[in-house]
Structures are given as structure tokens and as C-alpha cells.
């Protein structure tokens, strides 16, 4: 096959931005779907507003819209086309929504409400469109609160893990301590690693941050996924750093520092450490890619 040959229709579709009127049928279907699934979106919004574990959900929709707008010069040249697999996937999302509603299973209802948006884009705008604009639709899934049965199953093991690692670091630094479960006993002070300090909350928000940062800074297919894979270790590491600094402050200066620092500045510290780590790893991945990439003749 001649490598220079091309599809005239594809070239035509890339020649100019498709008029927004070509997407009218999608916007109408999208509006109907949002109205039909509004109870799911409303309960999610209540969780975003009231539950600190999911407060990052308030930013998901605006950020997803920004990503979609940012890539408009790419997907805006793709002419909409009907995709029957996408419509079938949408039918499955609608059935899941109905079944979840009947069973009062909130996670299934919310998952179906979000999945239906991407399925509509696939079914009414076509796979070529979704292939170029997939990330904003996938990013919406980060807005779905986890089922509490999963959340609480993760919380206590992560409390113990964070406590063990923090104690190992503190012991290496020469801090006198004794560990009892998720409690770190220091001279004159005991630091309890409660549920809010387990690292689950930071893991939820930092995986979201990691996905957005990887998408914005890493081109290609493998590099964004590689950087995103570090999101969970970075979240756990940042949480351990928070505990270590808090314990050192209580040990070396004043136990009151631990309480004030932990409650007022710990979140900022976690995100500062995570952002710096993401930046370093992203730079390292880019540098490694440049070194390993074969030289062009």
C-alpha cells in the first residue's frame, strides 16, 4: 500500500471545523439524558459538597469541559456519524440506570449516569470523535463517590500501613516511639492516625490530579499512563510525609504543633509534596523518552 495515499473523505473532514449545528442531535439527546438522570447527579453533588472525601468532585465537571474545549481543534474537524456499538452501549447504560434505581443501588445508578454521556458521544458522534475526545468523558468517572463498603474496607488497612511506614521513618531519624495499632506513642504525646489521616482521601483526590496532570503534560499513549500509575504511591508517600513531619514537630517542639499542623496545614502539605513529585517524575519520564527515542536520519 502506498504510504502517501489517503482517504479524500478523511482529508475533507480535517479541512475545516465542523459547524456546531452538526452536533445539535447530540446536544438534544445529552440534555434529555441529564434531565432523566438528574436525581443521580443531584445526590452526587450533595456528596461533593458535604463529604470532604469527595470535595474534589466539585471541580471534575468544569475541568472536563475545559479539556473538551481545549481539544476542539482536533475533534472539531470530525464529522459526526452514527455508531451502532455506541448506541448499544448507551442502551446498556440506560438499563443499568433503571436496574440500579429499582434496587436503590446508588453506585450503579451514578456509574450509569456518567457512562451514558460517553456512550451518547460514541453512538451519535462516532468512534473517530470519541477516539480524539475520550479523556474528558473518562475523567467524569472520577466524580463518582466510591461505595462506602469499599471505602471503609480500605481505610483501616491504609491506616495501619501509613502508621507502620511513618514509624519506620521516625525510628530511622532517631525519634523515640512505640506503636500500638494505628497510634504512635511519643514522649509526652500520642498521635492517632484516624480515618481522615489514613491516606484514602488524599488517594482519591491525587489520582484525579494525577490523571489531569498526566493528560496535560505527557504526549502519546504510554507516557500519560506511566505517570498516572505513580498516583497511588505518590498519595501514600505524601501522607506518610505528613505524619512524619507532624510527629517530629510534636517530638522536637510542642505537642500542640501536631494538632494545629495536622488539622490546618496537612492537606496543603500533601498536595505540595504530590505536585512536586508529579513534576519531577513527569520531567524524568520526558527526559528518558528523549534519550531512548531513536535518532531520526
Q: Quick: pLDDT tens for 68-89.
A: 998 888 777 888 888 999 999 9
**Alpha carbon separation from 204 to 77, 145, 146, 234 (Å, rounded):** 35, 9, 9, 12
Closest C-alpha to 76, from 121, 26, 23 = 23
Per-residue pLDDT tens digits for 124-137:
999 999 988 899 99
CB 67 within 8 A of CB 139: yes
Per-residue pLDDT at 202 = 79
DSSP one-letter string for 161-220: HHHHHHHHHHHHTT---EEETTEEEETTEEEE--GGGSSHHHHHHHHHHHHHHHHHH--S
Query: Facing residues of 190 across strands?
Result: 185
Per-residue pLDDT at 6? 43
Separation of alpha carbons 119 and 142, rounded Å: 17
pLDDT below 70 — which residues of the chain?
1-22, 196, 198, 257-264, 266-267, 293-297
Extents of the domains making up the chain: 18-145, 149-292
Look at the block and give the residue holding cell 468523558: 137
Supply 261's cell numbers. Answer: 499542623
pLDDT for position 44: 95
**Number of alpha helices (DSSP H) and beta strands (DSSP E) in the chain:** 15, 3
Does the pTM surpass 0.85? The reply is no
Measure the CA–CA gap between 244 and 159, rounded to whole angstroms.
Answer: 14
Neighbours of 212 (CB within 10 A): 20
The pairs formed by 188-193 with CB atoms below 8 angstroms and a separation of 24 or more are 188/255, 189/250, 189/251, 189/255, 189/258, 191/243, 191/246, 191/247, 191/250, 191/258, 193/159, 193/162, 193/163, 193/166, 193/243
Q: Give the pLDDT of residue 19.
A: 57
CA distance 187 to 178: 9
Amino acid at each position: 500500500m502506498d504510504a502517501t495515499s489517503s482517504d479524500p473523505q478523511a482529508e475533507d473532514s480535517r479541512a475545516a471545523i465542523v459547524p456546531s449545528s452538526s452536533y445539535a442531535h447530540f446536544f438534544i439527546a445529552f440534555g434529555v439524558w441529564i434531565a432523566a438522570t438528574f436525581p443521580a447527579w443531584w445526590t452526587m453533588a450533595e456528596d461533593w459538597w458535604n463529604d470532604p472525601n469527595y470535595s474534589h468532585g466539585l471541580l471534575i465537571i468544569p475541568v472536563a469541559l475545559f479539556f473538551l474545549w481545549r481539544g476542539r481543534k482536533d475533534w472539531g474537524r470530525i464529522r459526526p456519524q452514527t455508531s451502532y456499538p455506541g448506541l448499544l452501549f448507551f442502551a446498556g447504560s440506560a438499563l443499568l440506570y433503571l436496574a440500579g434505581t429499582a434496587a436503590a443501588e446508588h453506585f450503579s445508578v451514578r456509574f450509569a449516569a456518567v457512562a451514558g454521556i460517553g456512550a451518547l458521544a460514541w453512538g451519535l458522534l462516532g468512534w473517530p470523535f470519541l477516539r480524539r475526545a475520550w479523556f474528558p468523558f473518562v475523567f467524569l468517572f472520577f466524580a463518582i463517590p466510591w461505595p462506602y463498603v469499599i471505602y471503609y474496607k480500605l481505610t483501616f488497612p491504609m491506616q495501619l500501613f501509613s502508621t507502620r511506614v511513618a514509624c519506620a521513618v521516625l525510628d530511622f531519624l532517631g525519634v523515640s516511639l512505640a506503636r500500638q495499632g494505628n497510634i504512635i506513642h511519643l514522649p509526652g504525646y500520642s498521635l492517632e492516625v484516624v480515618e481522615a489521616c489514613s491516606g484514602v482521601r488524599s488517594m482519591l483526590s491525587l489520582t484525579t490530579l494525577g490523571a489531569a496532570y498526566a493528560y496535560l503534560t505527557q504526549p502519546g499513549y504510554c507516557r500519560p499512563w506511566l505517570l498516572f500509575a505513580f498516583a497511588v504511591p505518590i498519595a501514600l508517600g505524601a501522607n506518610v510525609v505528613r505524619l512524619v513531619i507532624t510527629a517530629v514537630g510534636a517530638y522536637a517542639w510542642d505537642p500542640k504543633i501536631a494538632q494545629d499542623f495536622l488539622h490546618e496545614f496537612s492537606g496543603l502539605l500533601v498536595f505540595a509534596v504530590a505536585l512536586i513529585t508529579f513534576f519531577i517524575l513527569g520531567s524524568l519520564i520526558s527526559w528518558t523518552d528523549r534519550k531512548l527515542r531513536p535518532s531520526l536520519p
